[in-house]
Amino acid sequence: MQLAKKIRIYPTEEQVNVLWELSDKCRVVYNFALADRKDAYNKEKRSVKYTEQQNKLPDFKKRNPEYNVVYSKTLQGILKKLDSSYHSFFTHIKNGDKKARPPNFKGRNYLMTIPYNQSGFKIEDGIITFSHKVNNVPLSFEIGNLAEGLNVKQVEIVNDNPYKARGKFFLCIAYDVDIEDTYFDNGIYQAIDLGITKIVTAINTEGKFFEVKTPRPDNYWNQKIDAAKSRRDHCIGVKKGSAKSRRFLRIARAVTKMSKKKANQVKDFQHKLSKTMVENTRANTIIVGDLDVKQMAQPKVKDGIKQKKTKQKKGLNRSTQGLGNLGRFVQFLTYKAEIIGKRIIRIDEKNTTKRCCYCGKKHDMPSWKRVMLCDCGNNIDRDRNSAINIMIRYLLQNALWTGYQQFVDNLRQYRLPDGIEVHTEAK
């Protein structure tokens, strides 16, 4: 398994100039390769593969010896990034994403990510040094013991605001991790329903619930960001192409800074919660509803006509789409569980919120309706109802019948009203 670590670095002015020189060479190669792909498609209706462009690199460097200042594998890494960008673009198109756009050309003010794959760098005594041939200025940075003992496979030099390199510099270190604990099914399961007000509502096979309310730091920052954007939009320079006033630029920098703080706080909370969850459950199998986060943002269609987005829908989209909150949290759970020998299984969660977990009757459950009230006597929080349905669906499809019966018995003991049977199929 491969993980990544992000380390802040502080290059000197001379080193920044070297990074710009390397970036410029990488940018030109990237743009040439992109133009080659576009021309091949427009003129010959064929796609260009990575290996074809990689084989052209030696001849390109012979004709342009100034590109020898860049480490050889770095230019190969740039071509790989372009290739992966095209793969990502075609995947989005295949999945029906109408907003997907192909890779575009990079301008001279854009600081490219500089990759070093498996070689071209050396880590010694807490200092990492990169190979290059620009002005004899060493690219060495102190990283302490943050990479000590790691089986490092790739290092990338990045700037979190690449346009004119206005942001901070980081090293993204990819390293291999040996998984010592192998997964086995111990017969204990945990089902998770993801939400907004409560990011996690979980139930285990013993019928016991575990809930975590979302602290929502994004709500705090969203108000400040919206207020700052409103002030910015009244400044000189709002129109595209017009000169930006000092006040406009100052407020724009403040908006960028607040957005980064919001993203960091949300990400930090998700990392801590996902680690706590996988380490403190006896279940080796954790079931999560397979969220289609992009579909959640689509407007409702009635009689073939898309309905207008309401203010409530806009707020819901901001919660689900912003920063990749829910989808990214599942990714954190997945890799953290795999490291310690557990497994995250995603199943279709369609109608798990709308269907009564006891009798199986389907109800209309708009987002403002927080309690499931059913004719059978069921009165339960909608998130708990969904978590139970996710568990039932998984046990019926994958586990032994005895496991399902045990869960139902535990549910009846703790939660289920007398005289009500748990449904075993969709109605």
Strand partners, 381: 371
Q: 378: how many CB neighbours lie within 10 A of its CB?
A: 20
Q: In this model, does residue 297 exceed pLDDT 60?
A: no
Q: In this model, does residue 319 exceed pLDDT 70?
A: no
- Which letter does DSSP use for residue 362 in this model? B
Instruction: List domains and CATH numbers for the chain.
Output: 2-176 (no CATH), 189-213+265-414 (3.30.420)
- Residues, the chain, total? 427
- For the four alpha carbons of 4, 15, 130 and 82, in that order, the dihedral sign comes to positive
- Which pLDDT score, from 0 to 100, does residue 289 have? 86
Residue 285 parent element (H or E): strand 285-289
Residue 376's pLDDT band (boundaries 50, 70, 90)?
Answer: confident
Q: In this model, does residue 304 exceed pLDDT 60?
A: no
What is the C-alpha to C-alpha distance for residues 141 and 340, in angstroms, rounded to an integer? Answer: 32
- Which pLDDT score, from 0 to 100, does residue 369 have? 85
More confident site: 194 or 403: 194
Q: In this model, does residue 267 exceed pLDDT 50?
A: yes
Q: In this model, does residue 414 exceed pLDDT 70?
A: no
pLDDT digit string (tens) for 128-175?
999 999 988 999 999 999 988 889 999 999 998 888 888 899 999 999
Token pair of 183, please?
């997964």
Output the pTM of the full model.
0.81
Q: In this model, does residue 69 exceed pLDDT 60?
A: yes
Residue 129 parent element (H or E): strand 127-130
Residue 152 parent element (H or E): strand 151-159
Strand blocks (E) in 214-284: none
Report CA-CA distances (Å) from 264 to 174, 221, 244, 269.
Answer: 20, 11, 28, 9
pLDDT digit string (tens) for 188-209?
999 999 988 889 999 998 888 9
Which alpha helices (H) appear in 148-292, and where do they start and end? 217-232, 246-279
Cβ-in-10-Å burial (0-12, 13-18, 19+) of 354 comes to: middle
